[in-house]
Amino acid sequence: MSVSKPFHFSIIFYSFLFCFIIINKVNAQKRDNVQTNSYRVSNNVVIDGKTTEWKDFFFKTYNKHNQIFYTIGNDDNKLYLFVKAPAPITVDKLITGGLTLTVSHNLSAKRKNDKNNKSITFPVHEYTYSETIQGPWAYQAFKSDTIGNKRQIDSLMHVYNKKATSMLNQIALKGINDTISSTNNNYGIEAAIQFTNKMELIYELAVPLNYLGLDIKNLTQFSYNIKLNGYPLAVKRKPSLFPSPIVKIASDAPVDFDYLFLNSVSDVWGKYTLANK
């Protein structure tokens, strides 16, 4: 009598795993580098750095220059910027130098220096790097076993979300000498940063359309710029608190792309038209 060979579930498992990886790579390649579509934001969005009322699939764009997922959207009254930074090095850059959103009514190459541009930078803070957010790096020690390390991960997320709330709560506006609160200011601008349980940074910004010179009744296209300022801005802003990480590199030294990314400005220009109902 013949004996059937045991069924190897591992073969099926790894086949599914391989297919899953391939599908995800294909989906990542399909993402646009620059957002061009308009998105209508629902009225129940709360600027708190959490994705409770919207899903991650809302991130339609992955910008390779800034190494972020992002989506720009609007309702009748505000323009929104949602960002997810999955990599610790991107989190470092965004938090240390801040992210600047610029809106320009100029569609030409001269839009960069248009004096009528509106720019909002968040976060702005006066803490040394060691005092800020190192949670994404600490998470690397736990991510190999998220179930077994769930308690440590939850604790890490709680600690650094609390830090983000208390330390990263100031906004800088172009032409304004002082910073303003990210939760309560006369301009109606809101901003927040929090972390997921994977220690991915979630960044939310809401700016009133009237502050930007926009109107839902006028669907004229405008330009936007998303810029990660990097370490230089932090060093320039508060040299006594930010020891400069910029050092001379030997000409024959290998190129450290992480170092270059952290110490240089990266940005993306796009065009957007407000989404009506």
* 243 part of a folded domain: no
Give the number of C-alpha atoms closer than 13 A to the C-alpha of residue 244, restricted to the C-beta side. 10
User: Domain tally for the chain?
Assistant: 1
pLDDT over 90 for what percent of the chain? 47
- Is residue 118 situated within a structural domain? yes
CA angle at residue 31 from 29 to 36, to 5 degrees? 145
Least confident segment among 19-28, 85-94, 96-105, 239-248: 239-248
Model confidence over 147-174: pLDDT tens digits?
998 898 888 889 999 988 988 999 999 9
Select the more confidently predicted residue: 17 or 227: 227
- For residue 4, pLDDT beyond 90: no
Q: Indicate whether 18 belongs to any domain.
A: no
The overall average pLDDT reported for the chain is 81
Task: Report if pTM > 0.85.
Answer: no
Domain that residue 163 falls in: 30-237+252-272
Sequence letter at residue 158: H
- Note whether residue 1 is domain-resident: no
The more confidently predicted of residues 8 and 14 is 8
Give the per-residue pLDDT at 178.
87
Instruction: Tell me the CATH number at 233.
Output: 2.60.40
Residue 111 has pLDDT above 80, yes or no: yes
Q: What is the pLDDT of residues 25-60, one digit of tens each?
A: 444 456 789 998 999 988 778 999 988 777 655 788
Please check whether residue 14 lies inside any domain of the structure: no
Work out the pLDDT band at 186, boundaries 50, 70, 90: very high
Question: What is the tens place of the pLDDT at every residue in 234-244?
Answer: 444 443 333 33
Q: Are strands 99-104 and 118-122 parallel, antiparallel or unpaired?
A: antiparallel
